[in-house]
């Protein structure tokens, strides 16, 4: 790791001076691209600070029209919705903007952002804006512990929040997890620590962050269509380590994350701390005899370790993936000064969100598991590795990734595959190459509903999974693809699976009442 305490030069002298809530934001001309959760929060905050704000969004929906009305009431200069709204960069009150604040999902190639870049107008994400507003006269300034990775971000942030709260700290999970950081900054509660989930999109538009501690959980191909290449995706993920103050945490089983730490410009005294599901070495957190232990944040770490929790404290279905998430969360919390006992208490009180390796039912000896949040091969790898034999429900929008490595690795545990989704050619080719003897069924075949009707397709997939399964099997819905071809979100896809499994279980119970004793 290289040491630095300097922030990147943003180029515009006025923008460079905007580093606190109390800085002179009045009259700043800002275009906010996108009126979603983060875009609305950014526009609302900037208006409160006295900036001149124009908001644009390509979707003219009822929800967006309501948001437009709200912003116009509180003083937005203009809100434009609909086709073409983000094709070009608008003026603000007849002059070129000083700044563009973009919602994280908008691609750099989008007309409004590409034009801003050509004209030399600075582009921030809402995370960069929130970082610059974090200090406010008369209020506590929360430290940030930041999490990214291809998979496991939300779980790790939630675990971190729970551990910090168990230690008695005022902490909240924010960022990509759902609560905009700007909303937390304006909350009457004076938080001491933010557990910040950061996507690669958010990191792409951030440059000034100085986390207390940071982690890249893992790295695998994802969002290649947005970033343009795997190398660009890696580079944006690695930005999380820049300027870290206390600990850069990385995954010992993912060498690329260690390389990111080695290449990072960090603050003086920042340490490299890794986690492993094996016995830990010096400056590692790991596992010994079913216990999570710490050899990084203890004074006598050369000769001893602190017991943090047991593997059973990490969740209902402890997997290597969930144990790694728990270790990463523990490292971030320990970097913030949390005592060992709070790790155990926090993990025990943590309530995992739905749709990530979520047991749904057990009927006629078959376990049904919902992992709709497995939106890429790397996430599906974690859940496939946890069960055998598996009837795998998979497919959706592939986002430009390949499936050969995933299928080849798990071919021996696959008993059958049921395909959902409209973009399954790449997955099907991988199955043909690496698992030619595994039966592959298409859920869309044999139903009268169109293939875009996700709920009908999912109901058929569950029926087919039931027909393929025998006692001792797991039917795992881990699509390894995005959901937007047949569902609005991965949560809707997961709920469709849960509803279909529930209907199946009820149908089985109607025919065999004794099965009710074996369902969960």
The predicted model gives 115-122 an average pLDDT of 96
Given a contact cutoff of 8 angstroms between Cβ atoms, the answer to whether 34 and 57 are in contact is yes
Q: What is the CA radius of gyration of the chain?
A: 24
Binding residue per annotation — 245? Answer: no
Given a contact cutoff of 8 angstroms between Cβ atoms, the answer to whether 25 and 18 are in contact is yes
What is the reported pLDDT for 363? 85
Q: What is the pLDDT of residues 426-461, one digit of tens each?
A: 999 999 999 999 999 999 876 766 767 889 999 999
The predicted model gives 465-483 an average pLDDT of 94
What is the reported pLDDT for 473? 95
Q: What is the distance between the alpha carbons of residues 56 and 222, in angstroms, rounded to a whole number?
A: 28
Give the position of tokens 């993990």: 347
Binding residue per annotation — 150? Answer: yes
Binding residue per annotation — 153? Answer: yes
Domain 22-129's class? alpha beta
Q: Would you say residue 10 has pLDDT above 50?
A: no
The predicted model gives 372-400 an average pLDDT of 90
Q: Would you say residue 118 has pLDDT above 50?
A: yes
Given a contact cutoff of 8 angstroms between Cβ atoms, the answer to whether 88 and 112 are in contact is yes
Q: What is the pLDDT of residues 12-30, one digit of tens each?
A: 788 999 999 999 999 999 9
Bridge partners for 306 per DSSP: 294
What is the reported pLDDT for 73? 85
Instruction: Tell me, yes or no, if the pTM score tops 0.85.
Output: no
Q: What is the pLDDT of residues 254-267, one digit of tens each?
A: 999 999 999 999 99
Domain spans of the chain, in order of start: 22-129, 138-349, 358-518
Q: What is the distance between the alpha carbons of residues 315 and 340, in angstroms, rounded to a whole number?
A: 18
Q: What is the distance between the alpha carbons of residues 81 and 108, in angstroms, rounded to a whole number?
A: 19
Given a contact cutoff of 8 angstroms between Cβ atoms, the answer to whether 32 and 112 are in contact is no
The predicted model gives 153-162 an average pLDDT of 95
What is the reported pLDDT for 520? 34
- Number of other CB atoms surrounding residue 361 within 10 Å: 19
Q: How confident is the model at residue 511 (pLDDT cuts 50, 70, 90)?
A: low
DSSP conformation letters of 92-124: BTTB--SEEEE-TTS-TTSHHHHHHHHTT-EEE
Q: What is the pLDDT of residues 190-235, one digit of tens each?
A: 999 999 999 999 999 999 999 999 999 999 877 777 788 889 999 9
Q: What is the distance between the alpha carbons of residues 59 and 483, in angstroms, rounded to a whole number?
A: 19
Domain 138-349's class? alpha beta
Q: What is the distance between the alpha carbons of residues 78 and 56, in angstroms, rounded to a whole number?
A: 8
Binding residue per annotation — 155? Answer: yes
Give the position of tokens 């050369």: 302
Q: What is the distance between the alpha carbons of residues 467 and 69, in angstroms, rounded to a whole number?
A: 52
What is the reported pLDDT for 64? 94
What is the reported pLDDT for 448? 64
Both tokens assigned to 203: 């990191």
Judge if 138-349 and 358-518 fold alike in CATH terms: no
Burial of 19 (C-beta count, 10 Å sphere; 0-12/13-18/19+): middle
Given a contact cutoff of 8 angstroms between Cβ atoms, the answer to whether 475 and 469 are in contact is yes
Bridge partners for 286 per DSSP: 293
Q: What is the pLDDT of residues 241-295, one digit of tens each?
A: 999 999 999 999 999 999 999 999 999 999 999 999 999 999 999 999 999 999 9
Q: How confident is the model at residue 382 (pLDDT cuts 50, 70, 90)?
A: confident
DSSP conformation letters of 334-385: HHTT--HHHHHHHHHH--PPTTSSEEEEEETTEEEEE-TT--SHHHHHHHHT
Q: Would you say residue 170 has pLDDT above 90?
A: yes
Given a contact cutoff of 8 angstroms between Cβ atoms, the answer to whether 395 and 479 are in contact is yes
What is the reported pLDDT for 518? 32
Strands 414-419 and 306-310: unpaired
Q: What is the pLDDT of residues 340-360, one digit of tens each?
A: 999 999 999 998 877 888 889
Q: Would you say residue 513 has pLDDT above 50?
A: no
Provide the CATH number for the domain formed by 358-518 in this structure. 3.90.190.20
Cα-Cα end-to-end distance for the chain: 49
């Amino acid at each position: 790791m290289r040491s630095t305490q300097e922030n990147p030069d943003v180029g515009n002298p006025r923008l460079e001076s905007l580093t606190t809530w109390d800085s002179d934001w009045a009259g700043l001309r800002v275009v906010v691209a996108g009126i979603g959760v983060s875009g609305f929060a950014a526009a609302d905050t900037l208006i409160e600070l006295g900036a001149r704000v124009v908001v644009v969004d390509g979707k003219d929906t009822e929800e967006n029209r309501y948001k437009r009305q709200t912003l116009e009431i509180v003083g937005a200069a203009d809100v434009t919705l609909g086709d073409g709204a983000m094709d070009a960069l608008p003026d603000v009150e007849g002059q070129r903007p000083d700044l563009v604040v973009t919602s994280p999902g908008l691609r750099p190639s989008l007309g409004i952002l590409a034009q801003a870049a050509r004209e030399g107008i600075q582009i921030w994400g809402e995370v960069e804006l929130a970082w610059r507003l974090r200090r406010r006269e008369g209020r506590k300034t929360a430290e940030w512990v930041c999490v990214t990775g291809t998979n496991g971000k939300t779980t790790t942030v939630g675990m971190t929040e729970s551990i910090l709260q168990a230690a008695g700290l005022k902490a909240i999970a924010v960022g990509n997890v759902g609560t905009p950081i700007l909303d937390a900054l304006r909350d009457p509660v004076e938080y001491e620590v933010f557990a910040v989930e950061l996507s690669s999109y958010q990191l792409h538009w951030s440059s000034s962050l100085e986390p207390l501690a940071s982690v890249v959980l893992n790295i695998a191909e994802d969002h290649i269509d947005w970033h343009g290449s795997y190398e660009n995706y890696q580079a944006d993920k690695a930005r999380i380590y820049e300027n870290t103050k206390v600990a850069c945490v990385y995954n010992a089983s993912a060498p690329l994350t260690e390389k990111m730490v080695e290449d990072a410009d960090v603050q003086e005294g920042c340490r490299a701390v890794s986690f492993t599901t094996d016995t830990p070495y010096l400056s590692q957190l790991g596992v010994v005899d079913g216990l999570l232990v710490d050899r990084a944040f203890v004074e006598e770490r050369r000769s001893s370790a602190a017991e943090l929790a047991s593997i059973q404290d990490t969740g209902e279905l402890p997997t290597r993936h969930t144990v790694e998430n728990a270790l990463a969360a523990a490292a971030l919390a320990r970097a913030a000064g949390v005592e060992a006992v709070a790790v155990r208490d926090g993990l025990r009180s943590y309530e995992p969100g739905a749709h990530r390796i979520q047991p749904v039912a057990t009927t006629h000896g078959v376990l049904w598991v919902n992992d709709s949040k497995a939106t890429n091969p790397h996430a599906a790898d974690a859940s496939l590795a946890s069960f055998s034999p598996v009837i795998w429900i998979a497919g959706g929008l592939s986002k430009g990734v390949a499936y050969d490595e995933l299928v080849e690795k798990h071919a021996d545990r696959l008993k059958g595959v049921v395909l959902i989704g409209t973009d399954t050619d790449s997955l099907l080719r991988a199955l043909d190459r690496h698992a030619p003897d595994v039966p592959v069924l298409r859920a869309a075949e044999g139903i009268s509903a169109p293939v875009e009707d996700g709920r009908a397709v999912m109901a058929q997939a569950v029926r087919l999974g039931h027909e393929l399964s025998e006692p001792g099997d797991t039917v795992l819905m881990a699509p390894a693809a995005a959901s937007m071809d047949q569902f609005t979100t991965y949560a809707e896809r997961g709920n469709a699976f849960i509803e279909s499994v529930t209907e199946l279980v009820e149908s089985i119970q109607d025919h065999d009442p004794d099965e009710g004793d074996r369902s969960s």
